[in-house]
Structure 1
Amino acid sequence: MTAAGATIYATTTAALANAYSAAKEQFDKADYKGAAATLRAAMYKGAENNAPSWLLLARSYAKLGETGACRQTVAIISKYFPGSKEAKEAETLAGSFAQTGAGTGTGTGAATASQTSPVSVSNSGGQSAKQTAALEDRITTIAPRFGHAPVDRRTTAIVRDVVKKLPTNIYKILDRGGAQIFVTPNLIDKFPDAVQAKHPTLGHYLSEEFGRTYGKDIYISERVSSDPGATDLQAPLHEETIRATAYTQLSHALDCCLEMLSKDPQYLKLYRQDVADCENSGSDDLKLYLSKDENGAKETFSGLVAGMMGANTHITRLLESNFPRAKAWIKARIELLSK
């Protein structure tokens, strides 16, 4: 699996196996819609994408007659798991559509895949049409669900302003890397199967989050839920919160564009040295960034990059003061890799 296929939150192998087993049981009972929903929900909760899960999702779409969605899923398997047994099976599955003349991949099925997949898919030319536009023009609004109000144009304008004012070196990396931005009423409007999904470290619900990033696809919420796990939403977030969220999510995408720089051994060495100096600080605000798993290093990387982009929040200031070695290394690498 390539670095671009990595998701923001990882879950245990056992949890993923349980989700796959449940979906396989549904599939074997001809509950193809249920199988697809189970797999998508597991992915949205942060389960690491794997070839068997994606193949089962493709087979579920095929059984449902969702030709476009199946083709998109096959494209994901071919791109992120090349040479695997599942990739070969997926190609055979796609070939069966070609032989029967079923679908063109441009109808409702294709829209379904676009709306549900946490991994962006390129067309046969190697780059989607949207990715040929300037970064600030690759901002899409997500249609509302659950009776939510549509995204206000002013919210989209705030996000666009953040993008246009990014430092030149960071903008170049995101632009060349093919990052895409989606502004949604709430994350559950994009991921309706994940209403009850919780953050694996902090424990809050997906609907309470300001944003998430999967690979190079950035999702920014305009509102958060009124109650934990609820579908009702509060009033729109303040402009400063939306800007801070945009910076944070853009930094996650930048990490992906740089082939997961947050996993570089040199960065991790410096990060751990900084952790050793501040892990006894007792600050609850540092809990996420001092996490013993890979999320700690990843979130610290993104928080530091957000500060370099222009974010000036309590968290960015806290990270800059507690992770000086990591910050200096990241800054130097971004400057070098943007040339």
Structure 2
Amino acid sequence: MPAPTPDSPRRRLPAALLAALLALALVVVLAVVVLERRGERAPQAPSAAPTPTTETPPPYPEPPVSTIDRATLTVPEETRIAEHTFWGRAGKTYLVTLDVVSEKPADSEGWAMYLGVLISCAPEAGGPGDYRGGTQNLRTGEPTAYRNQVLVSSSADGAITCDVKLSAPYDDVASTGTAFPVEASWRADPVDGSAAEATTDDLPRTLAPGAEDTVLTAAFDLTAEDDDALRGLTTLHLTTCTTVNGSREEGRAWCREDALDEAGSTATLTAGLELLDADGAVCEELTAESTAPDHIDLLRHHRMLSADLESILPAEPCGTTARLRVDLRNDGPAPLVVHRANSSALLVGS
């Protein structure tokens, strides 16, 4: 075959074949790019920050809470005042203290008149609600005070409502028609430490003239993590043996007829906070407080004596038990009855 001469024309690739080769090259390039990017994760939008949860506030205020109310009663009359609701937490204990002040007007009929008071607290969710109060005769023109206290708790979170009942019920007395003012207040505080309430199994009892004895005690074991301070509160409901039927409780009279004395009794309450060692003996008296001698005569007859004392625990207590001790002295001349109803002694730690 003769070799091509310089003047011979060169062979050219057909146009269709050239286009096909270019298309194939483009496909290869695109495939490589796609394969390289398959391992890459697609960018994601940043996750939203978690929404903080907020607790719905309770419908009533939480302790400490307090309320005060006033009323004017006309003998005979009963009414309720100072109603207020607070929010209790499940298993939490609250100390509720009651104060009532009243006075029989100086220009009113009769020498004295009867007034009973009662605070009652009821947990809406159930649990140990309680009530406590007292009775006294108001002498004309003399302010008379009532004080008492109670522990309240709830089995579940919920409302606890307290109110104060006032009772001047008798319509066959010289004071019938007398209008008189009453101021009632109460306060609820959370108990942050231990709490104990005295049993009243040994009451009622009669204390002879010249006698002095311990009538109530409340105690709990010390727990270093809970209790740095103590508070003791007590109220004794007393009547003097000036008449046989004036000192009745549990269906019987507690005054013997041959021991009556219209001169009445002079009573002194002494409350003390103390520490007991492992054997139950007193190893330290932290503080003590006595009321002034209080004369309970025929006209007064009923009397509420109270004490409220506090103490800081030593850094190294000598004992393992804290105790509130309540002593009563009767200087006569009449015997003195300590009633179970409305007598109380509470010891709380904080």
TM-score (norm 2): 0.20
- Report the TM-score when normalising by structure 1: 0.21
- Which of structures 1 and 2 has the bigger CA Rg? 2
Tell me which of the two structures has the higher relative contact order, counting C-alpha pairs closer than 8 angstroms and 6 or more residues apart: 2
